[in-house]
Amino acid sequence: MFDRDTKILVVDDSLNHRQLIFDSLKKLGFKSITTSENVNDAFMKLNSEEDKGTPFNLILSDLNMPGLSGLDFLKMVRETEKFKVLPFLLITTESEKGAVIQAAMNGVSSYIVKPFSVETLTKRLDEAWKKHKS
């Protein structure tokens, strides 16, 4: 499982969903969580922290956002050499199955279907950790 000091970036256009994800991660004991409301801001933060030598270790991103989507963000991350293997969880709704297949083809680590419990989040984080640590 990810260490409690794992530096996490949460991306969701909905303030309520960002807060829910943030609170769920805090319940699991994670201490370093940064949030972003869109892909452009998130990618800027990702690069900025990398440049400072304090890189993010995990991304959780909503799939369906205005402008650039979570799938667009995943592609940007995977196409950037320094982020190619960064664990990336996509948060979707049940109706977005086609996008989940596309995400799998683009290297998503795992995905979470909304609404989700802390137990489900734990299971998906564990899947992502195992995928990137093996």
Q: Which two tokens stand for residue 35?
A: 């949030």
Q: Does any domain span residue 125?
A: yes
Q: Which two tokens stand for residue 30?
A: 């994670």
> Which CATH number is 26's domain given?
3.40.50.2300
**Residue 119 pLDDT > 80, yes or no?**
yes
- Total domain count, the chain: 1
Q: Does any domain span residue 112?
A: yes
- 105 pLDDT band, cuts 50/70/90, is very high
Q: pLDDT digits over 47-89, tens only?
A: 999 999 999 999 999 999 999 999 999 999 999 999 999 999 9
- 93 pLDDT band, cuts 50/70/90, is confident
Taking the CA atoms of residue 86, residue 92, residue 94 and residue 96 in that order, the dihedral angle to the nearest 10 degrees is: -90
Domain that holds residue 13: 7-133
Residues 45, 130: Cα–Cα separation, whole Å: 25
Q: Does any domain span residue 1?
A: no
Q: Does any domain span residue 120?
A: yes
* DSSP secondary structure string for all residues of 64-92: --SSS-HHHHHHHHHHSGGGTT--EEEEE
SS3 content of the chain, % helix, strand, coil (to 5): 50, 20, 30
Task: Quote the pLDDT of residue 134.
Answer: 63
Q: Does any domain span residue 2?
A: no
Task: Quote the pLDDT of residue 74.
Answer: 97
Classify the C-alpha dihedral 6-22-113-69 as positive or negative.
negative
